[in-house]
Structure 1
Amino acid sequence: MSSGAAALSRNPRGFVLVAAHTLWLWLLLTPAAAIVRGQVHPATPAAVGLGAFALLYLALVAVPVADLVVRPAVHHAGLVAFALLGVGLALSYAGGPEGWLVLLLYVATAGAVGFVRVAWGFAWVGGSAAAVVIIGVVDRASATDTAQMALITVLAGALTLAFARTARLVEELRRTQRELARTAVEQERLRFARDLHDLLGHTLSLVVVKAEVVRRLAPTDPQRAAAEAADIERIGRTALTEVREAVTGYRERSFARELDSVRTALADVGITVSVSDVGRPLSVEADDAFGWVLREGVTNVVRHSRASRCDVDVTSDADEAVLTIRDDGVGGRPQFGNGLRGLAERLAQAGGTLHVGPARGGGLLLTARIPHSPTGRWAR
């Protein structure tokens, strides 16, 4: 089986369309019948030429219709050869009553389907119609028949151009839809991975800290150690619930909820926390994003800062909402790992920015900014 036939077998829709074009060849029955009746001389070149013309037409049409892999240069060379064959046959036999001018109609439609550029397609159709007129004049064919065939050639070519353009636009739309669907899946995977990191990173850090407290207190204060162990159990159950909510897509991280959580987390490790908020209510986007920023920022304070104090400030005016997290720890310039990179992406989706760097007087300063939305509300 040839590569073209194999491609048609793998593309049933293309096979059906090529078969439909085969039925379209019925207009060639008139010159074929004239050859059989002996009205065309010499008959053998006419028969061979007409058969080659029909086969070449189907082959050229199959390339765009069945989406066959053929180099454009080869396909264009085939169109030129097809046009020369059609013009030669029409010029040789158009003087008779057998309707050989109809071959130029097939030349027009083959180019209309084959050329991707619309301008080239229109030029090809116009050239085919002009060839009909010139051949009709040269062979002294009926002026009425020549004019009718030229008009039919233009109409058939224009309709084919419109159909081919529509088909290409539909295929482009389908490709765009598939690409959008693939992109949406990738974005959802990234969002899910980022959410799990933000959820479990904070929770597991808190569990580790409390487990260390339990280990230190167990020999000297079993009662308090048991209370801390109970907190670990509560944190674990809360984390399990949050993960389940993340999986089902219904999790909501409000800023007020995170604020309560980080107060507890910082107090448990001996870090003094100060919270202040000034200004108008946060937008829904800022409330959600700041909840994640607060969780990740405080997790980094607990893990890496060795700080004794952490200040959380929220301000909101007519232009933007700003969250700052400042500690008095070791400071430095932290590298953007998965956590901070995920926060930056989350803020960017809300039109905001994230900056992390050394604070004046030592320690680290994290600043998140989001444009203000007047419809926002505090999640209190």
Structure 2
Amino acid sequence: MQDRTPNVHVSPAPRLAKGVLFATLTSFLVIMLLNAVDSASGPVELVCAAAALAVSFVLQLRHSEPGARHGPARDRVLTLSAQFVLAYTPIALFEVQWGAMAGFLAGSLLLLVPGRYAWPLYGAAGASILVIALLQGRAVTESIYLGQSTLLTGVVVFGLSRLVELVEELNEARGEVARIAVITERLRFSRDLHDLLGYSLSAITLKCELIVRLVPVHPERALDELKDVLVTSRQSLADVRRLSSGLRAMSLAQEVTSAKSLLTAADVRTTVVADFDPPTQDVDTVLAAVLREAVTNLLRHSKVRNCTIEVTEDDGALRLTVENDGVIPSYRDASRESGNGLGNLTQRLVVVQGRLTAGLAPGGKFRVQAVIPTQSNSSNS
């Protein structure tokens, strides 16, 4: 099956961030080339300077790539060493005017070296240009300016490089959030469809089996049951249509009435205790879905003869309890789709801060209970 997840629109932000970084590095490169032109004594030196700048530029682009710091340690050491040589060796020819190349090196140190070593090495790069300028007889203010310029270049290179990486990570996260939203909506639709059709189809199947038994002996009652089947099937069709348009809502009061009617038709003695007022539509829908699934399960997985449905509100919580006898301990549903219902309901209840318990109760009965705090849901409504 082909994945129908829609393609997420690619944001221009990563390209813009890379463009800003490239333009900034190019500007630094042009400034350095102009300095080399002023300091070169001949065409050979100028060609060598241009070649060194080109290699340094390529190295810096590599160091500024997102995730470069996670590359092999050997590669990082080699490229940093090459950048170190290109930053300091030409100073012998071009004097401290070439020292701005140490700014690229300082930025690369912040990008590729672990944090506890990176910042001291970054500071050492700036201090080295200050010392070199003083040794070459430059004024103190000029020397401090050159050292400070090196540090400024390094932090700009580092900041823009990290910005590119963060923008790409954010763009990827945005796409992932969109994909998760699509998957979540698919799961929600699947849960709703299961809750709707699982109950309705079980009811239709049960009533059809009853009709088959009634036709020879009680044709009038069989006709009444057949009318109920038609009503149930039409209601299921309407529910599916509302579900597909996102308008699906369920009523616990209606589900209690429907469940009692269905169980009575199945010759199950049913006791209903209902004293409740759901605080929100979401809570009403979730509890109605719990009741549907519980009734569907007890009809499918037990030889039920007695069932109790109780809905009460006490201690700041709305509590739905469905308890039945006729438990078959050895029963296992072999169908691939078995076992999804209670898991779906658990996820539904989490949304309204509720909890679901299901298991054997005293007396060999099976109990499904959903508890939803009413105070927190009232405040959220």
TM value normalised by structure 2: 0.82
The partner residue of 1:369 within 363, 368, 371 is 371
Cα deviation code 1:95-127 (max 9, x no counterpart): 7xxx22222233234445x33866655434322
| Cα 1:195/1:222, change in 2 over 3 Å | same
1:27 maps to: 31
| Cα 1:69/1:136, change in 2 over 3 Å | closer
The partner residue of 1:352 within 348, 351, 354 is 354
Describe how 1:289-304 pairs up with structure 2 within 5 A.
289-304=286-301
1:5 maps to: none
* Structure 2 letter corresponding to 1:347: L
Deviation, structure 1 residue 328? 2.2
* Structure 2 letter corresponding to 1:361: G
2:5 maps to: none
Q: Distance in 2 between matches of 1:12 and 1:343?
A: 44
1:262 pairs with 2:259: yes
1:282 pairs with 2:278: yes
| Cα 1:327/1:102, change in 2 over 3 Å | closer
Q: Number of residues paired by the alignment?
A: 358
1:77 maps to: 78
Q: Distance in 2 between matches of 1:102 and 1:311?
A: 83
* Structure 1 letter corresponding to 2:363: G
Deviation, structure 1 residue 352? 2.3
Deviation, structure 1 residue 333? 8.0
1:130 maps to: 127
The partner residue of 2:322 within 309, 322, 325 is 325
Cα deviation code 1:198-232 (max 9, x no counterpart): 11111111111111122122233333323322221
Q: Is the 8 A contact 1:200 1:239 kept in 2?
A: yes
Describe how 1:1-380 pairs up with structure 2 within 5 A.
16=19, 19-20=22-23, 21-34=25-38, 37-38=41-42, 44=44, 47-48=47-48, 50-65=50-65, 71-73=71-73, 74-94=75-95, 99-112=97-110, 114-115=111-112, 122-278=119-275, 281-284=277-280, 285-330=282-327, 332=329, 337-373=339-375, 376=378
Larger displacement relative to structure 2 (24-33 or 208-217): 24-33
Q: Is the 8 A contact 2:33 2:53 kept in 1?
A: no
TM value normalised by structure 1: 0.82
Structure 1, unmatched stretches of 5+, are: 1-10
Q: Distance in 2 between matches of 1:18 and 1:208?
A: 67
2:7 maps to: none
Q: Distance in 2 between matches of 1:150 and 1:69?
A: 25
Q: Distance in 1 between matches of 2:95 and 2:297?
A: 87
| Cα 1:55/1:353, change in 2 over 3 Å | same
* Structure 1 letter corresponding to 2:211: V
Larger displacement relative to structure 2 (251-260 or 19-28): 19-28
1:8 maps to: none
1:4 maps to: none
| 3-state SS in 1 of match to 2:85 | helix
Cα deviation code 1:358-380 (max 9, x no counterpart): 23223322222222326659xxx
**How many percent of aligned residue pairs carry the same amino acid?**
30
Q: Is the 8 A contact 2:63 2:108 kept in 1?
A: no
Structure 2, unmatched stretches of 5+, are: 1-13, 333-337
Q: Is the 8 A contact 1:305 1:363 kept in 2?
A: no
* Structure 2 letter corresponding to 1:153: T
| Cα 1:62/1:16, change in 2 over 3 Å | farther
| 3-state SS in 1 of match to 2:89 | helix
Q: Is the 8 A contact 1:94 1:141 kept in 2?
A: no
Q: Is the 8 A contact 1:109 1:160 kept in 2?
A: yes
| 3-state SS in 2 of match to 1:347 | helix
Q: Distance in 1 between matches of 2:156 and 2:21?
A: 17
